[in-house]
Amino acid sequence: MKTFDAIIIGGGIAGVSLAFHLAQRGLKPVVLERSFVAAHATGHASGLVRMHYDLEGEARLAWVSFEYFRNWQTRVGGECGFTRTGFLDIVAPAQNDRVRANVALHQQIGIPSLLVTADDVRRLAPSFVTDDFELAAYEPESGYADPSATAGSLMTAARAQGAALVQGCRVLDIATDGDRVLGVETDQEAYSAPIVVNAAGSWAREVGLMVGVDLPLTTWTHEVFYIRRPPIVPTHPTVIDDSLSMYFRPETGGLTLIALEDENRFDEAPDADLGPISRDAMTRAVDRLCMRIPAMAEGSFHSAHAGRDGLTPDQRPVLGQVGPKGFYVACGFSGTGFKLGPAVGLCMAELILDGKATTVDISVFDPGRFSRGEMLKGQFGHTMWR
């Protein structure tokens, strides 16, 4: 049996970020990953880096994480692929009051967020149709990053400080003694630690049941498409287009990444095949992109992929201690976890080692909220964003 200070189940962004921050604090954690680092939800993430959330806790986590992304070499080392494009959240006129309130909240936090008009957007993105909305939120410093590179460099930095990584390793059971965790059994060998963290993404409910914790998690499967931009559209900002239920961003190689926010796939088994990609979804995505950028009709299809993540009833993460002593969860990110990852790892390390997260108060994401009937909702209107 190998002994560590902490066992982290899952090598996605939450798991490797926690390993990095625990190692920074002098602990020796091990990450147990069933495939390889960023193989699942993180590796298939769209990589948006923005702070526009309708819940203060998520906005604050994104803001702390943003300081990592734009100072990656100093804070972590390696590469995260952060690219500044500017970010727009476009809303239908009926949502004008909500976007005003969100921008005001973000400005109070210190986030560089502006309320802009349709005319402003036309100047920022001349290729956009702007006659169907009046206001948008604009973050001039935001953009996107490379999820696989981000997770890989966090894990590399963690290992340089004493953390360990075991890939191709499936957790079979979690050992307990009364009300305390002792370690885990895997298909390779046994590992001992007084701390076990469930960061298993789509498999988080399965892992929780190993200690009698039934997390209310299902799955969400999301298809993403890449379109070659025509020369008439050299680039554009990163956009969440609530009015058209989609988001899109530029990608290297003259591509645009696009995905839809409606008619996604739910409740599939974590191990279920991710494909095939829906031709209908691809057609709908292209049609909506052309509604916002008509010139994209001259583009062409490049490729597509799908990803799957754990989904909570309120589509907000689950962060905290639950069940036996020493058992923690960092899961249920519902497709929005990548941009929060650096701060989630930092705050979970604070919770585990200090008894409370102080960088950002994450108590609102307590796992017990569901049994108490305390579903989280947007402060200015319930809207889901990726």
> pLDDT by residue (tens digit) across 94-117?
999 999 999 999 999 999 999 999
Per residue, the 3-state secondary structure of 198-233, as one string, reads: ECCHHHHHHHHHCCCCCCCCEEEEEEEEEEECCCCC
Distance CA 347, CA 203 (A): 22
The chain-wide mean pLDDT, for the chain, equals: 96
- Choices 3.40.50.1820, 1.10.287.1400, 3.50.50.60, 3.30.70.20: CATH for 2-47+147-217+314-369: 3.50.50.60
Contact status, residue 7 vs residue 30, Cβ threshold 8 Å? yes
pLDDT computed for residue 386 by the predictor: 46
The structure tokens listed for 170 are 């499936």
Whole-angstrom Cα distance, residue 218 to residue 265?
11
Is the per-residue pLDDT at 385 higher than 60? no
Q: Is 15 a residue whose pLDDT tops 60? A: yes
Domain(s) of CATH 3.50.50.60: residues in the chain:
2-47+147-217+314-369
Residue 384 pLDDT exceeds 50: no
> Encoding tokens for residue 309?
């993540």
pLDDT, tens digit, for every residue of 130-139?
999 999 999 9
Q: How far apart are the C-alpha atoms of 99 and 356, rounded to whole Å? A: 31
CB crowding 219-246: b at 16 or more within 10 Å, else e: bbbbbbbebebbeebeebbbbbbbbbeb
Interval 77-89: pLDDT, tens: 999 999 999 999 9
Mean pLDDT of 22-47: 97
Neighbours of 209 (CB within 10 A): 12
Q: Give the mean model confidence (pLDDT) for residues 254-276.
A: 93
Q: Is the pLDDT of residue 382 over 70?
A: no
Residues of the chain with CATH 3.30.9.10: 83-141+220-306
Domain 83-141+220-306, CATH number (from 3.30.70.260, 3.40.50.300, 3.40.50.970, 3.30.9.10) = 3.30.9.10
Encode pLDDT of 152-205 as tens digits.
Answer: 999 999 999 999 999 999 999 999 999 999 999 999 999 999 999 999 999 999
